Amino acid sequence: MVSFDKKDIPVLDFILKECLKKETILPDVLIFGRYLPRYKHNLYGEIEETYDFVEEFKKYLSILAEHEACECSFKDDAVFARKNENTERILDKGGFDKIYKALNRTPLTKYNIITIGLTVLSLLMAGWLGWLQVHSNNQIHSLEKKIEKQKNITEKLGYKVDSLTTVDKVLFDEIDTLYNSLED
């Protein structure tokens, strides 16, 4: 599989667009389109002898051929590209940008699924524990209110409520009946 970078996408799409316009695309189309230089210069400004723009064109053709985007010829005397039945369809569906995104999309792995599941489970547990805490706090608060009412009733009856031993002198059932009779 011939891989390509994001910087190759405009060149590949340009070749496909040119294939739709012309019958045969040769390497110099990329030079005229300013996608490839005819010569490369080294740091000293001298022309590099090893650079061959036809080889660069062949690299792009191999990517196009692998994705069956156009008909490609790699012969030494005839390096060219021609449109085929897929050329227009690939361009209409987003060109090589869409192909690049599809190739570099990471699928969900078992590790990702387990991690997401554990995260959701821990969030649900935290919510449930929070609800339990609020519910128990409400129960404690209501019990504290009941105790305060019973202390008030016992004080009205003449008992001092300084400790639990004085509260034990009056049975809670009697306090409830007295409290109910006071409310009536």
State the amino acid at position 94 in one-letter form: G
pLDDT given for residue 90 in this prediction: 94
Is 155 in contact with 178 (CB distance < 8 Å)? Answer: no
pLDDT given for residue 159 in this prediction: 57
Helix (H, G, I), strand (E, B) or coil at 72: strand
pLDDT tens, the chain, 184 aa long: 678 889 999 999 999 999 999 989 998 888 888 888 877 877 788 888 777 888 889 999 999 999 999 999 998 888 999 999 999 999 999 999 999 988 888 777 888 889 999 999 999 999 998 888 887 777 777 778 888 888 877 777 765 555 555 555 555 666 666 666 666 5
* Residue of 4, 7, 12 lying closest to 30 (CA atoms): 12
pLDDT given for residue 113 in this prediction: 87
Rounded-to-5 percentages of helix, strand, coil across the chain: 60, 5, 30
The whole-angstrom separation of Cα 81 and Cα 20 is: 11
State the amino acid at position 61 in one-letter form: L
Query: What domains can be seen in the chain, in order of their start residue?
Result: 6-103 (1.10.10), 110-183 (no CATH)
Helix (H) or strand (E) holding 71: strand 70-74
pLDDT given for residue 13 in this prediction: 94
The whole-angstrom separation of Cα 161 and Cα 150 is: 10
pLDDT given for residue 155 in this prediction: 75
The whole-angstrom separation of Cα 22 and Cα 147 is: 94
Is 20 in contact with 90 (CB distance < 8 Å)? Answer: no
| Burial degree of 115 (CB within 10 A; 0-12, 13-18, 19+) | exposed
